[in-house]
Amino acid sequence: MELGNIKRSVQDMAKIFGAVIEEKLGERSQLEEQVRGFARQVETMVADALSARGAGKVKLRFKKLEHFKGELPAYATAGAAGLDVRAALDAPVTLKPGERVLLPTGLCVEIPYGYEVQARPRSGLAIKKGLGLVNSPGTIDADYRGEVQIIVINLGQEDIEIQDQERIAQLVVCPVVQAQVEEASELGETGRGAGGFGSTGV
C-alpha cells in the first residue's frame, strides 16, 4: 500500500474515532485532538518504515546445484545495478551468427515477493561480440524455484565461443506492482486516442 493511501486510511480512522467518542462521551474537542495526535504518530511510523525499506538491500538467496562451480553472482563495482552471472558449462559452446542457446548457471534463486529479477545483456559482450539476450530483459518471478538459465543470441557477424564461468548476463532486482484487472465497456478519452506506430512522427 502506498504511503498516501495509508495516510488517508489513518485520517479516516481518526474521524471515525472522533465521531464515536463524541457520541459516547460528548467531549469532542479534547479527545479528537488526542486521536489526531495518535494518527500523526502512526503516519510517522509508517513513513519511517517505508524509508528504511527503501534504503535497505533486497536479499537474494541462491541455491547451488550439482553442476555449479565458481562464484556466486556479484556486483563488479560499488555502484553497479546488475549482478554478473556466469555460465556453468561442461564444455565451451559455439554460436554461429543468428543462433541462440539456453545457457545454464547452476543456480536457483529465492526472490522476495514484491520483486522480480531481470536478466539483461552485458554491454561489453554486446559491443565487442554482438552477444545479446533473446528476451531482454528476461523476467525471473518471485515464485520460480527452477534453475536460472539465460537465453543468449549471436547478433554479430562472426562465431562466438562461450567458455565455462564466463560472465554472460547481469541480474537486476526490480520492484513489481501487480495490476487489478477490470473489464470496461468504455475507456477514458485522451488526445492521442488510438494513434500508434509512428502516429507522432518518425
- Three cell numbers written together for 81: 545495478
User: Which residues lie closer than 8 Å to 138 by C-beta, 6 or more apart?
Assistant: 118, 119, 120, 150, 151
Q: Dump pLDDT digits (tens) for 145-194.
A: 999 999 999 999 999 999 999 999 999 999 999 999 999 999 999 989 88
Residue 40 confidence (pLDDT) above 80: no
Give the residue extent of every domain in the chain: 3-55, 61-175
Give the domain 61-175 fold.
Deoxyuridine 5'-Triphosphate Nucleotidohydrolase; Chain A (2.70.40)
- Is a pLDDT exceeding 80 seen at residue 32? no
Instruction: Report pLDDT for 17.
Output: 61
Q: What is the Cα–Cα distance from 40 to 36, expressed in whole angstroms?
A: 6
**Single-letter amino acid code for the residue at 111:** I
The 10s digit of each residue's pLDDT in 78-123 is 999 999 999 999 999 999 999 999 999 999 999 999 999 999 999 9
Contact 164, 139 (CB under 8 A): no
Residue that wins the pLDDT comparison between 125 and 23: 125
14: cell is 481518526
